[in-house]
Amino acid sequence: GGGAGGGAGGFFAPRTAAAAAALDLAQTPWPSHVRDPIDASRVCVYVDPLDGTNEFAAGNLVAVTCLLGVAVDGRPAAGVIGQPFHTPTAGRIVWGGRGVGVRGLEDIGDARRVRNAGLGGGGA
pLDDT on residue 52 = 87
Instruction: State CA 61 to chain mean position distance.
Output: 18
* 51 marked among binding-site residues: yes
Does 2 reside within a domain?
Answer: yes
Q: Give the CATH number for residue 68.
A: 3.30.540.10
- Per-position b or e across 83-109, b if 16+ CB within 10 A of its CB: bbbbeeebbbbbbbbeeeeeebeeebe
pLDDT on residue 49 = 86
- Structural domain total, the chain: 2
Provide block-wise average pLDDT over 10 residues at a time, the chain (124 residues): 42 64 71 75 91 88 90 92 86 86 67 49 42
Q: Are residues 1 and 45 in the same domain?
A: no
pLDDT on residue 110 = 53
Domain boundaries, position 15 = 1-30
pLDDT on residue 91 = 84
Does 122 reside within a domain?
Answer: no
C-beta of residue 91 within 8 angstroms of C-beta of residue 85: yes
Q: Are residues 63 and 18 in the same domain?
A: no
Does 106 reside within a domain?
Answer: yes
pLDDT on residue 71 = 93
* 25 marked among binding-site residues: no
